Amino acid sequence: MRRRLVFFLLFLLNGVAIMAQRATIEGMLIDKGTQDPLHAITVLLKSGDHKVMSFKASDKNGNFILSTDRDITGAYLEINHLGYKKKSLPPTVGTKMRIELEQSMVRLEDVDIKSRPRIQRMGDTLAYNVSSFAKEEDRSIGDVLKRMPGVEVLESGQIKYQGKAISNFYIDGDDLLDDRYAIGSKTIPHKMVQDVQVLNNHEHKKVLKNKRYTDEVALNLVIKDDAKLKLTGQVKVGGGLPEQYDAEVNAILFNKKHKLLNVLRGNNIGDDLSGAFTGFNKQTVLSNMGTSPVNNLLALGTVGGPPVNKNNYFMNNSAALDANNLMNTKKEWQLKSNIQLLVDRNTFDYAGSTSFNTNGKVYSFDERQLTAIKQWMGAFRFSATKNQEKNYINNALSLEYQKENGSAVIYSKEEEINVARDFTVKGFSNQLEYVPALKNGDIIQVNWYMNYGKKPQTLTLAPGIFPDLMNGGEVYEETRQHLEVPSFFTRASVGYRLPNKKIVQYYNAGVSIEDQRLNSTIDIVSGGRVLHDAIDSATNNTNWLRTSLFAQGEYEWKTKRFSSRLTLPLSLQRTHYEDPYFELSQSQNRLLFNPAFNAKYLVGSEDELSFSYRRGNNFGNIEGVYRGLIIQNYRTQARNSGGINESRNNDFGLNYRLSKTIQLLFLNFGLNYSQSIASSMLSNVIDDDITQAQLIAKENKVNSYRASLGLDKYIFPLTSTLKLGFNWTLTDYNQLFNNELLPFVNIGYNLIPAVETKLWKSVNLSYQGQLSWSTTKQQGGAEGLNRNAFNMSQNLGFPVSFYGLVHLNLRARHLYSSQPGQERISYVFFDTFARYRHKKWNTDFELNLSNIANIKKFETYTISANMQAQNSYELRGRMAILRVVFNFK
């Protein structure tokens, strides 16, 4: 019995000893760069002789717990995971370990890829394989982008992804073209590009990557390795009938150190070269900074272009240079220059009849307008940038110049009026940004922007107009309207970001100043003498100054699936304007609070639901407060009687984006509501001879509703791309016309189908249509002002390729319009394109026949609210162009 008791006590003591030797190690794995927890990474506990004692994978929060009964003297932890540097360290018992892993690049051995997927998703990046979507008829990367599901390329060259405009257009990671990237999508050969990457939730500044909320989308062209080796380009020479020419020389180089895209073009075939000056996000940036440029207040006539392709009616003679050069230095500075120059002369021939229905009366204007415009444009932008993970520095200087001399002969009511409008634009802007990261991980953001510009304009009309007003009822020789609006704007701010908190915080404060002048006079020539300041009320000398002190806080919260941002801005704004001649001196002080909220929720691995709300206060500029008369065109006078046009806005948006990468299916759906309440309303007064526009103090409320749907699908068995877009809009607004308040509701439906498919071997079909239904109803009024309209545009093409050497494309465009009580409009335009490729010479021979039916006149009937118009435009007629395109490498 005693022996059994001794054995039992020894057994208990041995268990206690074993329990005393059990070790528990607890820790957390995080990414050293992003400070995000790392999930599903295995941690090994190894003995001194390198044998595994225990192992555990980290959970979704990066946590792990290891335990062992063995002695851990000399033991160590080992983490070896693809994408991170291998790490070994001694274990700590009793204290939770915080282990930071550093990312590393893994170089894989070269492999031969027999078949690449058409599209791949890597996190927030979507990569399209260009060769999978390119066809023989394609020349530029823009041609291929139009075919990619989810991607949309507008006629202007702007690119959208699932309905959202891209913020940046990169070429191998470098933003060579800035905001004016249309020249890139139209010029870069698609054979140079390996992949097109769509970068969702994009952040351009590396120091802010994963440090702030973003919903921007960018595009990156991944250039093939063999295309980076040397300079490539094209020389294009073309000529044809009647007396047509088309020429282009371009040079392209995209390597790691240098990038250049330089294009010299000239033509008279209707190709508008001014698109290179279009910045797709520039206006938005200016608006977000609290300013907008003053519009063109003087005009040659009253009409715009017809609803056909511009090259059908644009009678031009143009030459342009677009030079874009970038250099990456050894010290990680990026130096860039973008230069655009344009010389152009174009003409325009229009005839039409416009009538207005008001107060039971109909006022009609019959006119014909022959216009000729000469213009010179230049834009020079220079920037220096250092974009690193620890700091961001950028300074961008922009200089712009434009000179235009326009003349028109207008026939109205059996009278001939000779009109001339001349203006010159001179201006510059500079933006400085400095974003350093501090040692504690916090970030400072400094931003300073300023611009200055002036645009003197002169409008000359002969014989003189409005004799009752300008010359006591006596006929006189000439009216001269002079106008200039020099403008200066600057904005400076400094901010502090705390990115390492559970709720990311950002606070900034700053000041903005807007200084404008509006000077105008009207002179007349009567009896051979120039009479200055013909009437007292036709002189403006208005000064405008707006200052704003602002501060705001931003709060961002993010989980695995949900991210949001709340912005709380507060500003004190003071506006003062005066004109001593009219004894005008007014000031306005406003304390403004305009919150905004954005949120995104990942419904699935590729599905996203987003919501946005923004409250805003928009204030007009000097255009809305001047008092003196300004003659805007041969029949329109303008002046103001109200104060500053203040508009309060509330905007709501709900959007859903669905992506099925493997099935190549993309769907986006959006609902938007906007309400605007303005303190002023534009009043239009029309009689048989004159149109008067005046901004008066009267509340103007506008409600807008919009629903949109976009569907893109690639159908594998048919090798076809199907795209379908739908929009519905409803706008509730008021018009003040001949002192009568007219409430209207506009309802519009827009259907945009598109398909590209292979019919048989090398024969393809391309179709794109746009069908629009619109209804205008007067609320509570006579049905005589209610309008309905249907418009349709269809483009059909049959691309055919033979042996990769010969390509043909037969194209037809159908335009149709129908409105009750009006004659239906139906036009069909036929074009043909042919290309033969001589491989040995590396040269293409092209023949383009346009407007084969020789349609030289285009007529439209337009009805909207209380206005209807019948217009006739001169078109270019039939053209034949033969081109030779030399491709050099």
Residue 154 lies in a domain: no
- Give 166-227 as a DSSP string: -SEEEETTB-TTTT--HHHHHHSBGGGEEEEEEETT--S-GGGTTTS-----EEEEEE-GGG
DSSP of 32-73, one letter per residue? Answer: TTT--B--S-EEEEE-TTS-EEEEEE--TTSEEEEEESS--T
Instruction: Give the per-residue SS3 of 228-244.
Output: HCCCEEEEEEEEEECCE
Q: Which of 84, 101, 118 is the last residue of a domain?
A: 101
The token duo for 440 is 């504690």
Among 470, 471, 479, which Cα is nearest to 418's?
Answer: 479
- Domain with 44, as residue range(s), is 2-101
CA distance 601 to 808: 47
Cα–Cα distance measured from residue 519 to residue 489, given in angstroms and rounded to the nearest whole number: 18
CATH number, domain at 53? 2.60.40.1120
The helix, strand and coil proportions of the chain, stated in percent and rounded to the nearest 5, come to 10, 60, 30
Any idea what the CATH number is for the domain that residue 570 is in? 2.40.170
Q: Is 278 left (phi over 0), alpha (psi -120 to 50) or beta?
A: beta
Which pLDDT does position 804 carry in this prediction? 78
In a domain, 203, yes or no: no
The SS3 assignment for 80 reads coil
240 assigned to some structural domain: no
CB 154 within 8 A of CB 189: no
Distance, CA of 289 to CA of 511 (rounded, Å): 11
Q: Per the omega criterion (within 30 degrees of 0), is the bond before 91 cis? A: no
**Half-sphere exposure of residue 656, counting CA atoms within 13 Å on the CB side?**
9
Q: Cα dihedral angle (816, 822, 823, 829), rounded to 10 degrees? A: -20
Distance CA 725, CA 754 (A): 9
**Phi, psi (degrees; rounded to nearest 5) at 312:** -80, -25
Is 733 inside a domain boundary? yes
Distance CA 189, CA 209 (A): 31
| 127 inside domain | no
Residue ranges of the chain with per-residue pLDDT less than 70: 1-22, 105-117, 282-295, 358-360, 688-689, 780-785, 863-866
Q: With contact defined as beta carbons under 8 Å apart, do 682 and 698 qualify? A: no
Q: Are 405 and 423 in contact (CB under 8 A)?
A: no
CA atoms of 853 and 834, how far apart (whole Å): 18
188 located within any domain: no
Looking only at Cα atoms, what is the longest distance across the chain?
144
Q: pLDDT per residue over 576-603, tens digit each?
A: 999 998 999 999 999 999 999 999 999 9
The closest of 367, 272, 253 to 635, measured between CA atoms, is: 367
Phi and psi for 520 in degrees, rounded to 5?
-150, 150
> Which residues lie closer than 8 Å to 662 by C-beta, 6 or more apart?
none
Domain endpoint, select from 52, 84, 101: 101
Q: Classify residue 769 as exposed, middle or buried by CB count within 10 Å of its CB (0-12, 13-18, 19+).
A: middle
Within-domain flag for 141 = no
Burial class of residue 580, CB neighbours in 10 A (0-12, 13-18, 19+) = exposed
Q: Measure the CA–CA gap between 571 and 758, rounded to whole angstroms.
A: 58
Distance CA 59, CA 61 (A): 5
Sheet-wide strand order for 125-129? 119-122, 125-129, 193-199, 218-223, 168-171
Q: Where a domain ends, among 81, 101, 121?
A: 101
Global pTM exceeds 0.85 = no
Q: Which residues pair with 484 in a beta bridge?
A: 519
**pLDDT score recorded for residue 108:** 46
For the chain, the domain total comes to: 2
- 499 part of a folded domain: yes
Q: Is 329 left (phi over 0), alpha (psi -120 to 50) or beta?
A: beta
CB 873 within 8 A of CB 306: yes
Instruction: Please compute, for residue 336, the number of CA atoms within 13 A of its CA located in the half-sphere on the CB side.
Output: 24
Place of tokens 């000179």: 403
